[in-house]
Amino acid sequence: MTQSLSPFQPDMKATVTLRARDGREVRVRHMRREDAELLTRMFYRLSPETRYRRFFVPLNDVDEERVRREAARLATIDPERETALIAVVDEDGREEAVAVARFARLVEHDATCEASIVIRDDYQGVGIGRQLFDLLVQTALVRGFRHMILLTHADNTGMIALVQGLGMPYEGRFSSGLYEIDLQLTNFCKPVFPFTAPEESQNG
């Protein structure tokens, strides 16, 4: 993919257009503080399973004020350590979020970031997630990261397939129902697993 978004002093008005396999288009840009409202509305359009996959706990009866506070936190980006890309479309006369991909530098591992992605259910399985995640990886490469860590459920075949589809080297480790993936952004790196215990490991 030749499209990119600047990771340094990002232009908050700059967008990249991605096209889904079914012809739908989404615009991708860097997260803004005012996107908290978009994140709130997107949360309520995620299925219980998608919420659980992303946040690791059931969030079916969460307090509305808690959702708003968390959305405000996630929309407030520290550019020194974080990048967040938001995919948006126009629906019923206003902008709506359909996916978010983000990473943050790990304090204990300077060349390593932890990444995540969440896609609204009606935009899953059409290729938007892979394109969005590819943009995120490009940004991490430009910023000099050597490892991108993803922690997911061991049965989350969608996330595992997304990583495999990137065609980049990675190593994985199972632990207590979770699967930790080290996506290696540079060749010949010793894998980094900051979140799972080695005695419960199994490479994949």
Task: Please name each of the domains of the chain with its CATH number.
Answer: 16-196 (3.40.630.30)
End-to-end CA distance of the chain: give it in Å, rounded: 27
Which range is least confidently modeled, 9-13, 52-56, 195-199?
A: 9-13
Q: What is the DSSP letter of 165?
A: H
Q: What is the pLDDT of residues 135-173, one digit of tens each?
A: 999 999 999 999 999 999 999 999 999 999 999 999 999
Residue 52 has what DSSP assignment?
Answer: H
Rounded to two decimals, the pTM is: 0.90
Task: Answer yes or no: are the C-beta atoms of 195 and 149 closer than 8 Å.
Answer: yes
Tally the residues of the chain. 204
Q: What is the pLDDT of residue 176?
A: 86
Q: Tell me the pLDDT tens digit for each residue of 90-144.
A: 999 999 999 999 999 999 888 999 999 999 999 999 999 999 999 999 999 999 9
